[in-house]
Structure 1
């Protein structure tokens, strides 16, 4: 609103909006199936298109007490410290709610071979390929958790396994960059 000098305004007239950006609130919806897994204090990571290489950490402050009839989802509110004032109202954000964390062993999806009911990988030890049956767990991106059958530090064949057989001689061409696998 614009006001003229000397104009009398009452207390209900908005002159200018004021925003406290020291903490920002992020509201997002989750499907009903996650209702029992969300609670106050739970960690939330937020990434915005404005800062795609930075993750802002916050925590859940409110979980709606009801699931909405039309969408079968519920609203979650999180608060994020914004003392540097980089986040502003109206920004789009991608949220990630952490339900559980644990250490596990994962291999690239390309290393996993499924034939009928068998799931296996080829491991390499002393220049010899060994067919190793494994049990898989959760997937994240291009990695799949191995819950049984493989030990930490085992070398697995990621490419070229289609011409490989158990006991075949193998030459490791180069070390694979491990940064994306940890």
Structure 2
């Protein structure tokens, strides 16, 4: 009896295991069918339909008839603003700074005195030199009159002339020293930096103040060898600064370098624009678009239509219900469009949809 029960248990266990294996196999096959069978592409569906009907395969495409349009070529770059007129003024003599009018933000006029360095000594030396000069000049004038009357010797006249020339040179030197005792503003502008304090000692060459005029702003950008030949002095440039969203400032190319930078091989180009209200400050980052040229009858296509090989770019057009590959020359690329200088003509039927599914000389059908 026990042997019978033991055999019955084994049979039941075997049936259960077999049932589980059969169900698992079915699920696996279903999963394989769902996950590994590739989905049919648009081109596969076209091929299946053509094979079932026996018709010639026609790939549907959409086209656009090429028309000439105006295109303005631009060079986009980034630059940093700085004042056109920017001067760091330094002391030209040794001494104590006894007068200082150079607080940051102070508005100054051309030739305003910003600092004085021991002016009393310079003024005293100048006054003495001026007195000596006046005396020597009068003495020389009298000696010339007396020499004409033969009342003084030639030697006496020469001595008076020499004293006059010495006094004249001394006065010129004293005048230079007097001028050097003053630090003058070379422009109308604003004090941007102050480097010294009142009653401190300054030596020759010590920076005293920095004066800028921000009524005109400049930027210097680097331009590649390929683009520098397209730029001319006077070309317009449009400037956008993030601090003033929605505003566009118009400037011009005012200078172009003749020598490329030895490190990055770019050519320096200077752009200038008016800043009458002074809202633009030095050191702001600007997005710049330099106008290179305007083409009145250009062929322009969307950049995403271009297909690229190692040899360049190509597009597809439709001729006699067939796709025809056209190798093209791309002259300019900006934003999402490209100007084609060779390879397309006005009136060509450019494929604008379906170009990813066709090859050269395949039969196509044009969809509306």
TM-score (normalised: structure 1): 0.63
CA RMSD of aligned residues (A): 3.7
**1:108 pairs with one of 302, 305, 321:** 302
**2:235 pairs with one of 25, 35, 42:** 42
Q: In the aligned structure 2, how far is the partner of 1:22 from the partner of 1:167? A: 65
Q: In the aligned structure 1, how far is the partner of 2:244 from the partner of 2:263? A: 33
Q: Where does 1:29-68 land on structure 2 (aligned, <5 Å)? A: 29-31=222-224, 38-51=231-244, 53-64=246-257, 66-68=259-261
Does 1 or 2 have the higher relative contact order (CA < 8 Å, sep 6+)? 2
Q: Which residue of 1 aligns with 2:290?
A: 97
1:171 is the counterpart of 2:363 = no
Q: Which residue of 1 aligns with 2:339?
A: 145
1:10 is the counterpart of 2:206 = no
Q: Any stretches of 5+ residues in structure 2 without a counterpart?
A: 1-96, 106-189, 191-211
Q: In the aligned structure 2, how far is the partner of 1:137 from the partner of 1:87? A: 37
**2:316 pairs with one of 106, 121, 128:** 121
Q: In the aligned structure 1, how far is the partner of 2:228 from the partner of 2:366? A: 50
Which deviates the most, 133-142 or 29-38? 29-38
Report the structure number with the largest CA radius of gyration: 2
Aligned residues: 162
Please list the CA deviations of residues 71-109 of structure 1 after superposition, one character each: whole Å capped at 9, or x if unmatched: 434433221123454422221012233333324111123
Q: Any stretches of 5+ residues in structure 1 without a counterpart?
A: 1-7, 173-182
**2:274 pairs with one of 81, 84, 105:** 81
Please list the CA deviations of residues 3-34 of structure 1 after superposition, one character each: whole Å capped at 9, or x if unmatched: xxxxx9625x4212326444322222334665
Please list the CA deviations of residues 27-48 of structure 1 after superposition, one character each: whole Å capped at 9, or x if unmatched: 2233466555554323222222
TM-score (normalised: structure 2): 0.36
Query: How much has 1:58 moved relative to structure 2?
Result: 0.6
Change (3 A) 1:9 1:105: farther
Whether the aligned pair in 1 keeps the contact of 2:332 and 2:340 (CA below 8 Å) is no
